[in-house]
Amino acid sequence: MTLQITDATLDEVLQTDKLVVIDFWAEWCGPCKMIGPIIDEIGEEYQDRVVVGKVDVDNNDEATSRYGIRSIPTVLFIKNGEVVDKLVGAGAKSLFTEKIEKLL
């Protein structure tokens, strides 16, 4: 399951002891639309072990600024509240799953 994360819910999402994967995206972003379904698939496949969510950068300035997001899509991998890895730009599903497997 993929969560819709907002400025108001970000801190609550980060309170988990699971790996958190957050996709920063926007509706008008072509590459974001390309990886959107991949992020959703990962959310389903890893739902018991990883928290997967999306932040719409147009509506969540606080979360976007907090992580210094300058390009989208940017996918952050967060463990214990700290960013441990990130991917910027579109990529194959295997890029995302390899990073997740290494961090689990």
Among the listed residues 20, 29, 42, 78, the single catalytic one is: 29
Q: How far is CA 96 from CA 9, 34, 44, 65, 82, in A?
A: 23, 13, 14, 23, 18
In angstroms, the CA 2 to CA 54 distance is 7
Choose, from 32, 38, 75, 78, the residue flagged as catalytic: 32
Active site residue 37: no
29 tagged catalytic? yes
Provide the annotated active-site residues: 29, 32
